[in-house]
Structure formats: structure tokens, C-alpha cells
Amino acid sequence: MATRVPFTTEFEKPLVALESKIEELKQLSGGAGVDFSDEIVKLERKAKKLQAEIFKDLSRWQVVQLARHPNRPYTLDYIQALFTDWMELEGDRRFGADRAIVAGLARFEGEPVVIVGEQKGRGTKDNMLRNFGMPRPEGYRKARRLYDLADRFRRPLITFIDTPGAYPGIGAEERGQAEAIAVNLEVMSSLGVPSISIVIGEGGSGGALALGVTNKILMLEYSTYSVISPESCSSILYRDASKAQKSAENLKLTAKDLAGFGIVDEVVKEAAGGAHRDPRLTAENLGGAIRRQLADLRQLTPEQLVRQRYQKFRAIGVFSTEE
């Protein structure tokens, strides 16, 4: 994994400054007979209290910033932490390799599973390779190939969603971006195996939904899931991309919002201060959630899985037939 660069969101800066002071005192403590232990303990208590205050009531825009944090764990980080015998499968057998989506076979606590996930990069070179986590048609067709494998070999499907959206370039449109996404929605809806999707960062538009038609939808505590990004929404509604903060509030795109709407089945708690502060603990929490959801889904027959999935998505949203 590439080296993570220092990055701090605006609302985290007071906490980071305090933590830097604590680290400085720890390095000085003990040298030349100086002991800052008491001061360190006081500052650590203050830092813990400050962190609780900051994260107690985050705005939706602040959650968007956390979901996009460049040091947040990505799909391959969770695969490394939670799965064994990972074997990546590449290519769509039509056009080429798209590394904005990683897909392959693995084991979860000994059980064979199929994994498909959107992967962002760290640093300029890696981001170019991963196309900033924006899949092209060949990426979605690769995903569809893995969906078929999961169904054929009766392996549970686990997907990781983390994308600002499908790549909107001319080449992607020429190669059938919309068709590739639409086919994925159709294929996922008819799978006779347990399927779980997990939003680990950004869940943007159809680019995310192409991995999200599953029996169970999980979201990490500080992730987002929406039909459009706040910036694009504000550009359309207000003709002003700078009003993204206002759009984020109106979109109600956080895990808490979507759980309240009945769209998300479980919100997975992140480490204090966000997944980027303790990826190991966040992965442990996620592993427990996957274990629970798979245990429930294993009780269903293939026909029941399809029916449950159908009913889940039919129940989303509200409509009226009154004139």
C-alpha cells in the first residue's frame, strides 16, 4: 500500500494540534531529568474530550469530508484485513483491464466468497492507475463476470462501494457506460446467493449502485451514499458549485440518514475520530457486521434470496397514485 500523506480536515485541526503537542511532550519527557507525565495525562484527557465534542454532532458536509479523507482505508485495505487466500481476477474479456474496480476470490473466516470493490489510489501515480476510483464500462463488465461466477459456484458475494461516480469521459460513453451499469443492476437482482454491499467511503450515483443491488446494504459510520455529489447537485440546482455544503444538507446522504429511511440495514461504527485514525479497529467492526449478515442470509434458499432482494428495493421510496 502506498504511503499515506499527512492530511487534516478543517474541523479536525484543533484536535490534531493538541495531539501534536502531546507527542512533542512525550519525546521531551525523560530527557535531562525532565518529566512531563502529569501534563501529558491532562492533555490526553483534553484531547479525548475535544474529539468527543467534535464528532458528537457533525454536519452532513463534514461527513462528506470524512468519507473523502485520503487516508481512509480503501477496498484492498479491508480485503487484506478481513479475508484470506485473496486471488484477484482481471479483465472483462471484451476490452481491457479497469483497475478502478478490483475483483476476485477469497475466504471469509474459511468460507469461499467472491469480492468486488471500487478502489481509489493514494498519490498521483496510483490515482491515475485507479482513475480516482471512477470505473469505466470494462470495470463494470468485469464486476458482472464475477457476479456470474458467484452465482455459478454458489459463493456469497461481498461488494465494497467507494466512488465519486462512474467515469463520464467520451470513451466510456462510446463503450456503453450506461448499458454496462444497467446490466449489472439486472444481474445482481437475480443472483441466487447471499449478497452484501458495504459503503466504505463515497457512494456516488449509478457508479455505486452497480455494486449495490444486494440483500443487505451496510454503511460505515462516516460514509455517504447519494444519487449525485453535493458539488454537482449545487451546480444544477443553484448554478453555483460553491453551495455544495447546502446541497449536502438537503441530500441527506449520510449513513444515519439512510438508516432512518430504511435503505441501509446496518451502520457500522468506525474508530473514534473516523476510520483513518484506527483502520484495524474499524475493520474488526466491519468483520463482525459481515459475519452477522451472512449468518442471517445463509438461512434463505436461492429463491428466497431473490424474493427478499426484490422486496427490499421495491419498498424503497414513496409514491402516490392520487391525482
pLDDT at 37: 79
Instruction: Work out the angle at residue 290's Cα, subtended by the Cα atoms of residues 64 and 304, and round it to the nearest 5 degrees.
Output: 110
How far is Cα 194 from Cα 214, in angstroms, rounded to an integer? Answer: 8
Smallest CA-to-CA distance from 264 within 311, 204, 215, 306 is with 215
- Taking the domains of the chain in order of start, what are their residue ranges? 11-57, 64-314
Strands 157-163 and 195-204 turn out to be parallel
pLDDT at 49: 84
- CATH 3.90.226.10 matches 64-314: yes
- Per DSSP, 136 falls in state -
- Give Cβ neighbours of residue 293 (< 8 Å, ≥ 6 apart): 196, 216, 218, 265, 266
User: What's the pTM?
Assistant: 0.90
Cell of 283: 475493520
pLDDT at 258: 95
Cell of 173: 460513453
Per-residue pLDDT of the chain (323 residues; tens, 9 = 90+): 455 656 778 888 888 888 888 888 877 776 656 777 778 888 888 888 888 878 888 999 999 999 999 999 999 999 999 999 999 999 988 898 999 999 999 999 999 999 999 999 998 999 999 999 999 999 999 999 999 999 999 999 999 999 999 999 999 999 999 999 999 999 999 999 999 999 999 999 899 999 999 999 999 999 999 999 899 899 999 988 789 999 999 999 999 999 999 999 999 999 989 999 999 999 999 999 999 999 999 999 999 999 999 999 999 887 767 76
Would you put residue 131 in left (φ > 0), alpha (ψ -120 to 50) or beta?
Answer: left
H-only helix segments in the chain: 13-28, 37-56, 60-67, 75-82, 124-130, 137-152, 170-174, 177-189, 205-209, 230-237, 244-251, 255-260, 279-297, 302-314
Strands 157-163 and 111-118 turn out to be parallel
Residues in the chain: 323
* Residue that is written with C-alpha cell 463476470 in the block: 145
